Structure 1
Amino acid sequence: MDGGRRVLRSLTEQLGSPFAFAFARPQFAAAAVSRPAPRARAPRRSGLEKLRAAAIHPLATGALVFGFLGAAFAYSAVRGGAYENFIQTVGTPGDLLARAIGMGIDTVTISGISELKETEILAYAGVKARNSLPYLDAEGMRARLRSVPMISDAEVRKLYPSRLAITVVERQPYALWQKDGKISIVSADGMPIDTLHDERYARLPLIVGDGANERLDEYRKIIEAAGDLAGRIKAGALVSKRRWSLFTTDNVEVRLPELQPEAAVEKLARLQRDHRILDKDIIALDMRVPGRTEVQLSNEAASARLENLSRKTKGKV
């Protein structure tokens, strides 16, 4: 306190920070002395002070040179691919900062999958350890997931601070479709959704031939008509886009008629139940003509049958 009973405080103590100082400064204008102070002449600088001032210019020049060299180095790194390699390895500077403050991706929750694996979803989505939640492109990730034939829809949600939730809707595999030596996985409506690249889908029904996938509903009805015999049917081939032939696990071809193939299959089931026809030494059953079934024996069975008939003929002579 001075003689005029005024409290003396430093600017730093009263304002606290440069920002506070910037906004609080006008309040001191009213406290200024009303009588104008005499105009002070600027003191003349000594020779030493001039030398010190001149020394500032080389420092500023050095800073400019250093900044230029740094920019040139960064440009060279970008041109040479070093920066891109850095991004691919550890992420962008923003990712680094976000992970440092606890916003990396610590947990990924995946729901809606039955055929696909978690590792496949992560690979399709492009989730990497270098990612961070704030800088993650959720829409781009969703678009990548939806581009997968096996996935009909996807949702990607960021759950701060460090959790990612992925929900997918799978197209359900229904059958395998072989055409021109290539086997595709098709959904119930016949839409190809993937190529067969592992044994996970080997259990699915197999259809063969051009356009067979478009008549999958028709083939489904044929299999249903087979009843207990369905387990012995390993494939169905659409012949000339007109009719079906069935192939059993015993490699017997059953040629069905173009019209009412379900009725022919029901007859086949009765023949198997009553006469075990598929257990005999045959290679084909021709049921294309309604009311008639022709049996084609294997070469061995045909030779044995001819030999047996020959013996019977000789015995009668």
Structure 2
Amino acid sequence: MQPINRKPSNQGQPHGQKPAKQHLSYSSNIKPLGSVAQGTAQTLFGQKASKQLPKRDPAPSRTSYKLQRLWLTPMVRSMAKAAIPTLGLLAIGFYLVNNQGLRDHISTRYAETRESIQTRPEFMVDLMKVSGATDRVGDQVRAASQIELPASSFELDLPIIRKRIEALDSVKAASLFLRTGGVLDIVIEQRNPVVIWRNKNGLELLDANGIRAGVSQSRLDYAKLPLIAGEGANADIAQAMSIFAAARPFENRVRGLMRIGTRRWDLVLDRGQIVQLPETEPVAAVERLVAWQSAQQILARDIKTIDLRNPSRPYLRLTPFAMEELRRVRSINLGVETKL
């Protein structure tokens, strides 16, 4: 007898020869694993059978090929990029033109949306600040701006407002800024008047360049400013200011300058005295008058006109009362001489 579970020996077989296959017998309900169907095996192991798709031909179809070739033509590409969008916009515009109700609805919605955005608190201007100007000019700037506060910053046309402000005679330049907190800051570069010009239109304030810086209703409103008068007096403000500066030793008697024939000046003093200045070098003539006044008090005498137009020979014109006194004195002197 041979023991159970022991492999049969290879005795009796030639060396190097494989043993003959043993015919195994299986049960009727057990099959070898290789004979199990693939789908059944994948089902047993929890996998789903994959469907094998047919291979796709990479070559395009005739229709696709023709469409691609058509798209590459310049005319078709131009139509697709320009003509079709243009036709679409025209169609939309034509529809809107012929639909009054839709247009009214769009306009109403747009106005409501715009109003709701513009009237938000962060876009409102509640205060106007004017800097760089006097109180009088500041009031003129506020009136010229024509702004009713509070107002939305979207409704303020700053360039237009700046032009209105710079149209004022007293404003040389203006800058507008919208500050945080709803403040409109207006920075003014003001024209500083240096003289008052009396002309046929009234009293005008002029700056150092002869540009009008405002008007005055009364001479007393600007009593500290010197006065000039006559046609063309505004053309040479620098020379006028030099004459006023040279006449400073007796400035309390100076009433103003009169332009004569747009060529020269007459210095007008109180008591009706007039100093006629030359056309050239009028400042030097005033300086000679100052020296004359310091030496002989010429302006304290009964003299109506001092003609300095000829530097080498000044002329004096006496007042009517002084002329009568001079005649009387001369007649007395002549009578005394006759008696002698």
Aligned to 1:225: 246
What is the deviation of 1:136? 2.8
Contact 2:204/2:215 (8 A) holds in 1: yes
Larger Rg: 2
Contact 2:126/2:150 (8 A) holds in 1: no
What is the deviation of 1:227? 3.9
Cα distance in 2, alignment partners of residues 278 and 132 from structure 1? 65
**2:202 maps to 1:146:** no
What is the CA RMSD across the aligned residues, in angstroms? 2.9
Aligned to 1:176: 196
Contact 1:103/1:160 (8 A) holds in 2: no
Post-superposition Cα deviations, 1:237-288, rounded to whole Å, max 9, x if no partner, equal 2212222211013321001122222221111111211222212222211111
Contact 1:110/1:118 (8 A) holds in 2: yes
Cα distance in 2, alignment partners of residues 237 and 208 from structure 1? 5
Give the partner amino acid of 1:121.
V
Post-superposition Cα deviations, 1:66-111, rounded to whole Å, max 9, x if no partner, equal xx9xx9xxxxxxxxxxxxxxxxxxxxx959x838x58654432211
Aligned to 2:326: 305
From the superposition, tell whether residues 304 and 115 of structure 1 become closer, same or farther in structure 2 (CA, over 3 Å).
Answer: farther
Aligned to 2:6: none
Candidates 270, 275, 278, aligned match of 1:249:
270
Aligned to 1:280: 301
Aligned to 1:195: 215
SS at match of 1:210: coil
What is the deviation of 1:202? 3.8
Aligned to 2:187: 167
Aligned to 2:70: none
Post-superposition Cα deviations, 1:39-87, rounded to whole Å, max 9, x if no partner, equal xxxxxxxxxxxxxxxxxxxxxxxxxxxxx9xx9xxxxxxxxxxxxxxxx
From the superposition, tell whether residues 163 and 115 of structure 1 become closer, same or farther in structure 2 (CA, over 3 Å).
Answer: closer
Post-superposition Cα deviations, 1:91-134, rounded to whole Å, max 9, x if no partner, equal xx959x838x5865443221111474332221111232453445
1:2-13 equivalences in 2 (<5 Å): none
Contact 1:150/1:193 (8 A) holds in 2: yes
Cα distance in 1, alignment partners of residues 215 and 189 from structure 2? 19
Give the partner amino acid of 1:278.
L
From the superposition, tell whether residues 117 and 193 of structure 1 become closer, same or farther in structure 2 (CA, over 3 Å).
Answer: closer
Contact 1:173/1:186 (8 A) holds in 2: yes
From the superposition, tell whether residues 118 and 227 of structure 1 become closer, same or farther in structure 2 (CA, over 3 Å).
Answer: closer
**2:145 maps to 1:125:** yes
Aligned to 2:155: 135
Q: Could you tell which deviates more after superposition, 224-233 or 278-287?
A: 224-233
Aligned to 1:55: none
Aligned to 1:315: 336
SS at match of 2:133: coil
What is the deviation of 1:185? 1.7
Contact 1:133/1:160 (8 A) holds in 2: no
Aligned to 1:294: 315
What is the deviation of 1:151? 1.1
Cα distance in 2, alignment partners of residues 182 and 112 from structure 1? 27
Gaps of 5+ in 1: 1-67, 72-92
Give the partner amino acid of 2:146.
G
Cα distance in 1, alignment partners of residues 164 and 317 from structure 2? 53
From the superposition, tell whether residues 258 and 139 of structure 1 become closer, same or farther in structure 2 (CA, over 3 Å).
Answer: closer
Post-superposition Cα deviations, 1:151-177, rounded to whole Å, max 9, x if no partner, equal 121112222432221111112212222
Gaps of 5+ in 2: 1-100, 105-113
Q: Please, what TM-score do these two structures have when normalized by structure 1?
A: 0.62
Contact 2:127/2:149 (8 A) holds in 1: no
**2:285 maps to 1:269:** no
Cα distance in 1, alignment partners of residues 183 and 262 from structure 2? 52
Contact 2:257/2:267 (8 A) holds in 1: yes
